[in-house]
Amino acid sequence: MNSSPEEPPDNDDAGIRPGVSRRGLVTGAAAATGLSLIGGWGSAAAAPGKVADDFGSVGTAPRLPDGFTKTFKSRFVLANGIRQHVVIGGSGPPLLLLHGWPENWYAWRFMMPTLARKFTVIAPDQRGIGLTERTRTGYDAATLANDVSALMTKLGYPRYAVVGHDTGYIVGYALAADHRDQVSRVALAEIPGPPGVPDDPSLFLPDPVNDKVWHIPFNRVNDELIIDMVRSNADGFYRYEYTIQSGGVPLPEYAIKYYISLYNRDRDALRATFGLYRAWYATVEQNRNRKATPLTIPVLGIGGENSWGPLAGQGMLPAATNVQTLVIPGVGHWLAEQAPTQMLTALNTFLST
């Protein structure tokens, strides 16, 4: 059984602490990147008196590994028409990390310092999540892939490797399929294939599977009722997901509180985090077209033994010709936080071959 690395004592039980000013953060990011930052923050700001405006940045993230902030900085980049928040650090070939739901770039924190010894690590927030701009539309996989493709182009990386987890698996596959000149190889973790690539599952599933996937049709319902229901018991809603997907290895309490606060900071923030699910069928239709031209780059599917296991790799077999499968023993869905050492070993081998 694996567990998350030991962390320093928690000095802030809520996982929220004051950060630098909004203006200071943006100005510093612009100076660090040399990139033009355009426009105001608009709805990305938190509700007054609840969380800091820069909550979700490196400067406000709780209990980061020692030395993290010396290597990694938050930056804000205008790409594909939206302002994207991205955490960057390290040196070497570029490696793009795509987080899942309900998380943000912070999900990769345990792995990022080690990866940064060999790679320039780029970990963005997806559209509508964390400090990346919220929009009313644009949450289908093609647009989300275009977001990160434009981000990497703006940062000066014409070709790069990709690691995606959960919804990041969906975006990572679309990115590799739609921007074949950019992606050199892709590791995809912890869902049983992109929607529309494997056979779609029945609505009437065995209870253990239903318990893990019920949130997909729930999140897809495009009605304010969903916002009202989650807002009324956000702690219970998200805590169920972190628990049922854990495979018996719980996430740290401070991380759960951090993610819940990030996703439920206000109604607009919460609504945007459901965007990918509400564009689900558009993504299914896109993926049916994508798989007609299989990927030829190396693909690694990674699953937790107590979660999707070999299905993470098997789900890519209809869509790629060079697929490897790895199952990490004793863990569930949250691989980067439950088994960072095993993930690092797997990626070091995959990215070096």
pLDDT of residue 207: 86
- Whole-number pLDDT of residue 203: 67
Q: DSSP readout, 41-93?
A: -GGGSPPTTTS-TTTTSGGG-SSPPTTHHHH-EEEEEEETTEEEEEEEEE-SS
CA distance 62 to 269: 20
pLDDT value of residue 72: 98
Kindly list the averaged pLDDT for each block of 10 residues, start to end, along the chain of length 353.
38 30 34 31 35 90 98 98 98 98 98 98 98 98 98 98 98 98 98 91 79 93 96 97 96 98 96 97 97 98 97 97 98 98 98 89
Tokens describing residue 256: 């759960």
Q: What are phi and psi of 83, to 5 degrees?
A: -85, 120
Out of 165, 166, 173, 238, pick the active-site residue: 166
As a whole number of angstroms, the distance between CA 125 and CA 102 comes to 11
CB-based contacts of 23, cutoff 8 Å, min separation 6: none
Exactly one of 85, 179, 215, 333 is catalytic; which is it?
333
For residue 171, give Cα distances in angstroms to 20, 54, 91, 131, 292.
Answer: 31, 25, 24, 18, 17
Query: Which amino acid, residue 133?
Result: E
| pTM listed for this prediction | 0.86
Distance of CA 206 to the CA centre of its chain: 27
Distance CA 330, CA 202 (A): 28
Q: Are 244 and 19 in contact (CB under 8 A)?
A: no
If you ran DSSP here, which 8-state letter would residue 225 be given? H
pLDDT of residue 50: 58
Q: Is residue 166 annotated as a catalytic residue, yes or no?
A: yes
- In the residue annotation, 333 being an active-site residue is answered as yes
Is residue 54 part of the annotated active site? The answer reads no
